[in-house]
Amino acid sequence: MEIVIDNLCKDYGEKRVLDACSFSLGNGEIVALVGPNGSGKSTLIKTIAGVHNPSEGRIGIDGKNIRDIDPVDLAKMIGYVPQHFTYTLYSTVFETVLLGRRQHIKWSVSDEELSRVQQALDALEMGHMAGKYMDQLSGGERQKVFIARALAQDPQLFLFDEPTSALDVRYQIEVMETMRAITWERGVSMIIAVHDLNLAYRYADTVLLLNNGKTIGYGKPADILTPGCISTVYGVDSFIVENDYGKFIVPFRVKTGN
């Protein structure tokens, strides 16, 4: 599947929060959206997810504008995990994950749908928590449940907005490894907004660097996430460490002077 974002713009009232964003991705590819708070990452993801209508530009899937695709079919193609998630106290983990199968369920739930829920939970090693209530979980576990819901949706394009924000270091790596594996195994695409530059560096094929809604850089992580670029966008001095395990970005102080 070929996803093409072409000259996408989004205005909130008078304010342009996303300005002429263009990029594309194919099967098995992960694009990381990087940029400071308020740079337009969430807006871009929400617009692709169909939560917002674009003010200008188009989003194409295999040459088709997503506006021309039936919302029910689109729900089977695009899975979205928002940054801030809502849940109800009285829902269990598997009921929450089951919502991902909404468009495949008419009324009663078939064994096949339940198996998919089980698979999604197992992929994130959450199988043993299936019967727990959402409010019995820690913030990180809850975040994994929402990722599992998107996995159960079985889309060709995943959209994750800060999927690792509530996770500890171990789970961050685990979840990113799982996502990397899923993109390769299923040949699906992923757009992930991340704050952790090292996660973007390690797991993304391409990085899109945003600032104030404008695209600052787009390309391979090593070409975009340079100390110079980071300094311009974030106002932070950093250096790159290279060792046997790869390259790592180390931001160490707020830029002084100008």
Partner 1 sequence: MPQNNQQDAVPIATVHFLYKEGSTKRIALIIGLLLLVITSAILSAGIGTVSLSPEDTILAIGHSCAVSIQKSLHGYVPVIAGWYDAIPFTIPAPENPQAELIVVGFRLPRIFLAILTGMSLAIAGAVMQGLLRNPLVSPFTLGLSSAASFGAALAIVIGPGIIGAWLFLSYDMFIVVMAFVFGWLSMLLVYGISRSRGTTQSTLILAGVVIGYIFTAGVMSLKYITNNEKLRELIVWLMGGMWGASWNAVLLLLPLCIISFILLERKAWDLNALSAGDDVAKNLGINVERLRLYGLMISTFAASCCIAFTGVIGFIGLMGPHICRMIIGNDYRYLIPCSALMGAAILLISDTAARTVMSPVEIPVGIIMYATGGVFFLFLILRARGRGLY
Q: How far is the CB of 130 from partner 1 (least distance, A)?
A: 5
Q: Which of residues 16-35 bind partner 1 (CB under 8 A)?
A: none
Q: How far is the CB of 188 from partner 1 (least distance, A)?
A: 16
State the Cα–Cα distance between residues 98 and 117, nearest whole angstrom. 6
**Inter-helix orientation angle 139-153/111-123, to 10°:** 130
Which of 116, 202 has the CB closer to partner 1? Answer: 116
Q: How far is the CB of 28 from partner 1 (least distance, A)?
A: 22
Which of 118, 226 has the CB closer to partner 1? Answer: 118
Q: How far is the CB of 74 from partner 1 (least distance, A)?
A: 6
Q: Give me the DSSP letters along 3-50.
A: EEEEEEEEEETTEEEEEEEEEEE-TT-EEEEE-STTSSHHHHHHHHHT
Q: Which of residues 107-126 bind partner 1 (CB under 8 A)?
A: 107, 109, 111, 114-115, 117-118, 121
Q: What is the pattern of x (binds partner 1, CB under 8 A) and - over residues 200-219?
A: --------------------
Span near partner 1 by CB under 8 A; candidates 28-36, 96-104, 182-190, 246-254: 96-104
Question: Which parts of the chain fold into alpha helices (H)?
Answer: 41-49, 71-77, 93-98, 111-123, 139-153, 169-186, 197-203, 221-224, 227-234
Dihedral over Cα of 53, 54, 56, 59: its sign = negative
3-class SS of residue 143: helix
Span near partner 1 by CB under 8 A; candidates 23-31, 48-56, 228-236, 239-247: 48-56
Q: Which of residues 52-91 bind partner 1 (CB under 8 A)?
A: 71-76, 78-82, 84-91
154 binds partner 1 (CB under 8 A): no
Instruction: Answer yes or no: are the C-beta atoms of 44 and 18 closer than 8 Å.
Output: yes
State the Cα–Cα distance between residues 195 and 163, nearest whole angstrom. 10
205, 203, 200: which is closest to 225 by C-alpha? 200
The binding site for partner 1 (CB under 8 A) comprises 46, 49-51, 71-76, 78-82, 84-92, 94-96, 99-100, 102-103, 105, 107, 109, 111, 114-115, 117-118, 121, 127-128, 130-131, 135, 146, 149, 153
